[in-house]
A and B are shown apart, each in its own frame.
Chain A
Amino acid sequence: MFHKTGQILSRLIKQWSPNKPRPAADQNEPLSSSIQVNLNKISSVFANASDLVIRQLQIGTREQTEAFVVYLDGLVEKTIVNDNILEPLTLELRQAQANGGVSRKRVLALIKKQVLSVGQVKEATTVQAVIDAVLSGETVIVIDGSAVALVANTRGWETRGVQEPPTESVVRGPREGFTETLRTNTALLRRKIKNINLKLETMKIGKQTKTDVCIAYLKGIVNDKLVEEVKRRLAEIDTDSILESGYIEQFIEDAPYSFLPTVGNTEKPDIAAAKLLEGRIVILTDGTPFALTVPYLFMEAFQSSEDYYSRPFYSTIVRWIRFTAFFLSVFSPAIYVALTTFHPEMLPPALLISMAAAREGTPFPAIVEALGMGVIYEILREAGIRLPKPIGQAVSIVGALVIGESAVTAGLIGAPMVIVISITAIASFVVPAISDVTAVMRLILTVMAGIFGQYGIMMAVAGILTHMVSLRSLGVPYLSPLAPTNIPDLKDVLIRAPWWAMSTRPRVIGWHRPVRQKFHLKPEPPSDTNRDRT
């Protein structure tokens, strides 16, 4: 019902609002052949833009032609502009003309073909095209008498280099991470997958920001319908600004009312490449190192890139550690509350005695303790993240002292509660990708445990579970391969099978060409005859 009204509303809004904001000058008009008109137009459009550089020149010796070069300072590589555009225009053109003599009409082609030593040169015929080119860091050369401007790709601005990302750090594996520059990011991907099938389709989203968004996929492996669907959803975004991929995520996700993410993100090109190779689609956004991946399944949160780089035995154990940590972090406060307030008979005798001793004389009921401590923990965590690093540490020390020591000794809360919350907190760091999800689940479970005890926990689990299985990410069931069960796919969920055994891609995603490699790739020792000779 809400869905339908939403559609109607958005259609109405679309009809009423003008498609594009219209500034004073009609920007779709073609360039004039008079340089003065063009110059005036451009400088009026860019009025008050102090970073705009308009360099007026006279080129050629015999027939001096008026020209100007326009670019935005800071968005261009200065050396390219100087060495490869300005210098050739002023010096080499003169020599060329001295040698042969060029008519005014052919000067444009000459410049484009002989003079400019820049990798990519396009032509622009409208004012709008010129503006867009300048805004995206290209240098535009406008020559008197020509209604066509030359656009030289001189993009180059101050960027952060490729660094090790602070999230998703690994012991073994590539350390490079995506940067804020789209081109660098696509290059990082391209370097991992040297294949013509790696398609990188770019579109601009955001009426104001005009952010470049790049859809990357591996043709032949990806389900083409998914690509179409992603493109459709991206095309429907009609918003002012895309500052981070999180904006896009919220516009394209399947379940906007759900607390569960149906779009994944990563900061590392090797992870993005792995997702591409499984048949997923990666959406790169200019201006952020976080790439989105769809379809995103719940089980991906338990997979780390390092699982695949280290040997399978420990990886499998670690995966189960993550499951355990997830359950601990979701359930432990709820179970503690349920056990101490509803089902003390379930506690082993020795544990009950020590717990009863610890609870003796504490003023608050267990549920209040659990919720209060949970809130305090979240406050401490937030404070630790936002503050500069040295102060952040101080916060955690103070927090640990205040909560761990004083509160217990003052008899405000029981020591077991502190232990429970600490376990919860540490466990939730083990699965960082869904730490927000665990926090919500924990809250629901704790409240239900406070009302109904064990029954409440189980009803909350039933509610959350049915909600989770009902979700889909781009048509792929969210909890697959658990439900619906796909036994071959469990090789990368419940265990991490060795690489030689992972012959098929996840079927739910790369369903139409699932075979990744030959079967029977298990390494064998050389046969006996060989061994005898060596």
Chain B
Amino acid sequence: MKRQLIAIFIISVLFATSGCWNRRELNTLAIIMAIGIDKAPEDGKIKLTTQVLKPDEIKAPAATGGQGSPKGVWVLTSTGHTIFDAYRNATMQSDRKLYNSQTKVIVISEEMARAGVRPILDFFDRDHELRRLSWLLIAKGEAKDIIEAEHEQEKIPAQAIESLVTASGATSMAVTVNLHEFLKMLANKATDPFASRIEIIAEEETEKKAAKKPKPEESQQNGPRKRMRLTGAAVFKDDKLAGWLNRPETRGLNWILGKVKSGIIIVKSPKDENQYVALEIIRASSKIIPEIRDGQVTITVEVEEEGNLGEQMSDVDLTTPEYFDSLERRQATVIKNEIAAVLRKAQKEWGTDIFGFGDAIHRKFPREWKKLEKKWDTEFSQIEVKVKVISTLKRFGLHTAPAGTKRE
């Protein structure tokens, strides 16, 4: 026993003195929080923009000055033939080794996405530092602008983006897709993937735009301060970006997938068609039921929704059975319209099965699927989709009618 102990001791000493291969102190790492991928101006090269943490700035207390507090991150740009190459090239500018495991946000530019994302994503799934839990976002425009954008509340913009993603459930007008989910959809032969869409809005425009419906965003403004907004969805055909979904369409997608968590449904008041009523979504679920009859494929989407009366602007007491019934019907119509909008775009315009209809057929009718599989691309646009919405209203809040409402 003693001899073995001595041997172990000697070998430990050898290892200790010959250097520790994987040792890296925290203060020798450049911790990446977010990365953006763009097409480089050079031919076929990739431009990588990384948001690197500056620990010193994070540590510094607010004493340094409230308003002009320094940025907590440093943005670094490099190019390379592959992503990994670009990473290593970035080390030439940074005195520390880029460290990838905390990357929370991966932003891919529209241009890159249109060219196909499969080559880009290989590195992120192969490398052991990254996790598949990073959020995947497609930038409307350049990814670099998103990475460079600042946020008022968070010192680390990547954390702000992450919070934007997790908070998007409040409207359900954006999709939240992490790398894991995206790759799963990409790997599935029947399903086409989709991802979150992020865009830059100029600060001064924020107020003006709030009321209007967002038009297709123009281009990035070169104002001093940029803000980002997470809205809508980017839809892929296989690994190539096919197009964008606007907000109602995105919620339509979420309805079908049963991913609506919360949100507001705006309907016209049954009493006064000029006034709006806001119905809050409490919970929703969906079922995709495929059917094959005489070789004809039918998909039934069943959406169940439960809501509350959250706000109303008309001058009437809506808490009567008749009004509630009519509100429920209006609510169902809005949901149906949103679903129809996204179905039209996906089926007719792009022919991308982002809903997993093909997958549902595969699971339920494995034999028939073998025949369908090859021609699914064309078949998908042809299939009939029935939408069934069961929507209910449950509660109406702390008062029944606005102050001073006349009784009928």
Contact = CB atoms under 8 A, between A and B. Distances in A.
A359 B27 contact: yes
Contact of B23 (A257, A341, A352, A359): A341
A460 to B, nearest CB: 10
Contacts of A342: 22-24
Contacts of A349: 102, 104
Contact of B99 (A2, A340, A344): A344
B26 A359 contact: yes
Contact of A362 (B27, B56, B156): B27
Contacts of A341: 20, 23-26
A451 B12 contact: yes
A359 B26 CA distance: 7
B23 A365 contact: yes
A360 B59 contact: yes
B31 interface: yes
Interface string B2-15: 10000010001001
Interface in A338-364: 340-342, 344-345, 349, 352-362
Nearest to A444: B12
Contacts of A451: 12, 15-16, 20
Identify which of A357, A361, A451 gathers the most chain B CB atoms within 10 Å of its CB.
A357
A344 B29 contact: yes
A355 B102 CA distance: 13
B56 A360 contact: yes
B29 A356 contact: yes
Contact of B101 (A345, A359, A365, A452): A345
Contacts of B1: 257
B27 A361 contact: yes
B92 to A, nearest CB: 22
Given A341-B23, A362-B27, A357 B55 contact: yes
Interface string A316-346: 0000000000000000000000001110110
B129 interface: yes
A257 B5 CA distance: 11
A357 B104 contact: no
A125 to B, nearest CB: 51
Interface string A1-30: 010000000000000000000000000000
Contact of B27 (A354, A356, A463): A356
A148 interface: no
A129 B26 CA distance: 74
Given A341-B25, A360-B27, 18 more contacts: A340-B25, A340-B26, A341-B24, A341-B26, A344-B26, A345-B129, A349-B104, A352-B26, A356-B29, A357-B55, A360-B56, A361-B27, A362-B27, A365-B25, A366-B25, A447-B12, A452-B15, A453-B23
A145 to B, nearest CB: 65
B55 A356 contact: yes
Nearest to B60: A357
A293 B25 CA distance: 47
A355 B31 CA distance: 12
B2 A344 contact: no
B102 to A, nearest CB: 5
A334 to B, nearest CB: 14
Contacts of B55: 353, 356-357, 359-360
Contacts of B58: 353-354, 356-357
Interface of A: 2, 257, 340-342, 344-345, 349, 352-362, 365-366, 447-448, 450-453, 463
Identify which of A340, A353, A360 gathers the most chain B CB atoms within 10 Å of its CB.
A353
Contacts of B156: 353
Contacts of A340: 25-26
Interface string B42-67: 00000000000101101100000000
Q: Is the interface of A mostly helix, strand, loop or mixed?
A: helix
Interface of B: 1-2, 8, 12, 15-16, 20, 22-27, 29, 31, 53, 55-56, 58-59, 99, 101-102, 104, 129, 156
A341 B20 CA distance: 10
Nearest to A341: B23
A345 B134 CA distance: 13
Nearest to B99: A344
A356 B53 contact: yes
A450 B24 CA distance: 11
Contacts of B129: 345
Given A342-B22, A366-B25, A358 B59 contact: yes
Contacts of B22: 342, 453
22 contacts: A257-B1, A340-B25, A341-B25, A342-B23, A344-B24, A344-B29, A345-B129, A352-B31, A353-B31, A353-B53, A353-B102, A356-B27, A356-B29, A356-B55, A356-B58, A357-B58, A358-B59, A366-B26, A451-B16, A452-B20, A453-B23, A463-B8
Contacts of B12: 447-448, 451
The 5 closest A-B pairs by CB, nearest first: A345-B101, A357-B59, A359-B26, A356-B55, A357-B55
A359 B55 CA distance: 9
Contacts of A354: 58
Identify which of A2, A448, A452 gathers the most chain B CB atoms within 10 Å of its CB.
A452
Nearest to A350: B159
Contacts of A361: 27, 56
A356 B16 CA distance: 24
A344 B53 CA distance: 14
Contacts of A357: 55-56, 58-59
B34 to A, nearest CB: 12
B132 to A, nearest CB: 13
Contacts of A359: 25-27, 55
A354 B159 CA distance: 14
Contacts of B29: 344, 356
Nearest to B104: A349
A344 B101 contact: yes
B265 to A, nearest CB: 35
B5 to A, nearest CB: 9
B102 A352 contact: yes
B20 A355 contact: no
A355 B23 contact: no
A15 to B, nearest CB: 27
A360 B57 CA distance: 10
A466 to B, nearest CB: 11
A299 B99 CA distance: 43
B157 to A, nearest CB: 14
Nearest to A463: B8
Contacts of A352: 26, 31, 102
Contacts of B25: 340-341, 359, 365-366
A352 to B, nearest CB: 6
A341 B23 CA distance: 5
A355 B29 CA distance: 12
B29 to A, nearest CB: 7
Contacts of A452: 15, 20
A49 to B, nearest CB: 47
A335 to B, nearest CB: 14
Identify which of B8, B20, B27 gathers the most chain A CB atoms within 10 Å of its CB.
B27
A455 to B, nearest CB: 10
